[in-house]
Amino acid sequence: MSHFSVAVFTNGDDDFHEAVTRALAPFHEFETTGLDDEFVRTIDITEKTRAEYNDPQRTKSMVRLADGTLISAYDNSLWRELTDDEMIDFKSKGIFDDRELSDGRRVIQDMWGTEIYHPRVQNYPGGSEQIDVPVAEIMTFAEFVEYWHSYKVLDNYNSLVAPIPDDFKYGYVELDDDGKVVRVMDRTNPQAQWDWWVIGGRYSERLFVKDGTTGDRGKRSWGMEDKPDTGGLDTALLTDIDWDKMVADKIAERRRWFQQHHEGYELAIIAAHGDEEKIKAANDRADWEWGWDAATMKTEDDYVGVVKPLTAFAALYKGKWYQSGEMGWFGIVTDEKDPNAWDNEFLAILEDAKQQPNMRLTIVDCHI
C-alpha cells in the first residue's frame, strides 16, 4: 500500500473540500470504494482470462497423497490447530500473519471454523508432498473463473434496461446451455488512481501564503505528530502563495531531518568497524528512512541540496491526471519518467495554472 502527493488545482470560488472531491471522483478505485458511478466500465476480459487459465506458470498449490490423490493444499483436512508448545513457538516468530514454526512447517491464520482469526499448522499425511500444478490440469475454465475472480454466473441480464445487481457489480460470468463460459465481464474504473485520500495527510502544511492572505488546512496523518507548526497550509489561492517562504520552510525541514537522524547514522557507521556489509546496510537504511545518499552527500548542506518550492508525485489540472510514474503497492513505481522531464512537466502545469483567474491549489495525500 502506498501514499503519494497530488497537487490538485480547482476553482477558488468553490468550497475547497467539495471541489477536490469532485476533481478526484473520476479516479477512484471501484474495487475498494464500491462507488458504482458513471466512471465504472463493464469490460470483456474473456480472452485475457482464458490466456491466464492456459498459462503453465499459473499454478495452484496441491498436495499429492500417498495413493496419488490430489487435494488442495489449503483443504481443512490438511491443517490442524496448534499444540500449546507450537503456539509458544509461533508467537516467538514476530507479528506477521504468515510464518513458519522452527521446524519449517508453515502456519497460516484464518477464520477456520470460528468467528475470529487464529493459527493452524500443516498436518500433511505421511507419504504426501506439496506440488504446484497448472490450473488447466485440475479445473475447467468455468471453475478457474470462479476460483480466480470469484465471479458468479449471471443469467438473463440486459444492461440496457436494468442496473447491475449488487451481487454482480464487480464482475460476472455468462454461460451457454452446456455450462461453458461465453463471456467473463469485469467491472472496474480504468482510470483508477486512488482508493482513499485526505487533504494534507503525510504531506501536510507545505503551502505558505503572503502576509495578509489566508488559506486552510486539512488534517495531519499518522507519523506527522512531531512536525512543528510552522504556519504552513494545505490549500490556498495560487495568487496568495509565497514561494520564497515555501523554499525556506523546506530548507528548514531538511535541516531538522539531518539534525534528527545524522548522529545516529554516524554511530551506526562507527559500530560497523569497517565491515562493508554493515556499512552498506546502514547506508541503505539511511537512504530509505530519511533520504541520505552516502555516495553524494558528506555534509548537511549536501543533504539540503537545491530545494524547489513545490514538488508532487502527481498533478490534477483541468480534469486531467498527470504523474511522474505508475504508483504501485509498497511505494514501488513503474514507468517512471526521467526526474528532469517530470520537473519540467510539473512546472509547466504550475505556470499555466498561475495564468488562470482565481485558481486554487490543494495538496492531497492519496493512497493506493
**Do 101 and 146 fall within a single domain?**
no
The mean per-residue pLDDT over the stretch 287-308 comes to 94
| Burial grade of 244 (CB within 10 A; 0-12, 13-18, 19 or more) | exposed
Alpha-helical runs (H) found in the chain:
16-24, 30-33, 46-54, 84-91, 141-149, 243-271, 276-290, 300-304, 339-354
Q: Which band of pLDDT confidence, cut at 50, 70 and 90, is reported for residue 47?
A: very high
pLDDT at residue 328 greater than cutoff 80? no
Task: Map residue 308 onto helix, strand or coil.
Answer: coil
Scan for cell 505558505, then name that residue: 208
Proportion of the chain above pLDDT 90, given as a percent: 71
Q: Give the whole-angstrom CA distance, residue 368 versus residue 366.
A: 7
Cα-to-chain-centroid distance, residue 1:
3
Q: Taking a C-beta distance cutoff of 8 angstroms, is the pair 365, 3 a contact?
A: yes
Residue 61 lies in a domain: no
Residue 299 lies in a domain: yes
Q: Which band of pLDDT confidence, cut at 50, 70 and 90, is reported for residue 90?
A: confident
Domain housing 198 = 3-36+194-367
pLDDT at residue 106 greater than cutoff 90? no
Q: What integer pLDDT is reported at residue 31 of this predicted model?
A: 94
Q: Give the whole-angstrom CA distance, residue 350 versus residue 158.
A: 46
**Do 164 and 30 fall within a single domain?**
no
Among 87-101, 128-142, 353-367, which is the least confidently predicted range?
A: 87-101
What would the pLDDT profile of 211-253 be if each residue is shown by its tens digit? 999 999 999 988 777 788 889 999 999 999 999 999 999 999 9
| Burial grade of 215 (CB within 10 A; 0-12, 13-18, 19 or more) | buried
pLDDT at residue 1 greater than cutoff 80? no
Distances (CA, A) of 311 to 214, 227, 298, 324: 21, 19, 24, 11
What would the pLDDT profile of 129-157 be if each residue is shown by its tens digit? 999 999 999 999 988 998 888 888 887 66
**Do 178 and 241 fall within a single domain?**
no
Residue after which a domain boundary falls, among 188, 213, 232: 188
The mean per-residue pLDDT over the stretch 292-321 comes to 95
From the DSSP assignment, how many helices (H) and strands (E) are in the chain? 9, 20
Residue after which a domain boundary falls, among 166, 188, 210: 188
Give the pTM.
0.77
Residue 184 lies in a domain: yes
Residue 305 lies in a domain: yes
Mean confidence (pLDDT) of the chain? 91
Q: What integer pLDDT is reported at residue 164 of this predicted model?
A: 75
**Do 94 and 32 fall within a single domain?**
no
Proportion of the chain above pLDDT 70, given as a percent: 95
pLDDT at residue 99 greater than cutoff 90? no
Strands 235-237, 359-367: pairing is antiparallel
**Do 363 and 329 fall within a single domain?**
yes
**Do 183 and 274 fall within a single domain?**
no
| Burial grade of 66 (CB within 10 A; 0-12, 13-18, 19 or more) | exposed
Residue 62 lies in a domain: no
**Do 75 and 148 fall within a single domain?**
no
Query: 21 or 101: which carries more pLDDT confidence?
Result: 21
What would the pLDDT profile of 182-191 be if each residue is shown by its tens digit? 999 999 999 9
Strands 314-317, 3-11: pairing is parallel
**Do 181 and 144 fall within a single domain?**
yes
Residue 162 lies in a domain: yes
Query: 113 or 75: which carries more pLDDT confidence?
Result: 75
Residue 345 lies in a domain: yes
Residue after which a domain boundary falls, among 77, 96, 124: 124
**Do 164 and 271 fall within a single domain?**
no
The mean per-residue pLDDT over the stretch 149-173 comes to 77
The mean per-residue pLDDT over the stretch 24-42 comes to 96
Q: Which band of pLDDT confidence, cut at 50, 70 and 90, is reported for residue 366?
A: very high
Q: What integer pLDDT is reported at residue 345 of this predicted model?
A: 95
Residue 211 lies in a domain: yes
**Do 166 and 269 fall within a single domain?**
no
**Do 216 and 250 fall within a single domain?**
yes
Among 6-10, 29-33, 221-225, 346-350, which is the least confidently predicted range?
A: 221-225
**Do 238 and 106 fall within a single domain?**
no
State the total domains in the chain.
3
Scan for cell 485558481, then name that residue: 359
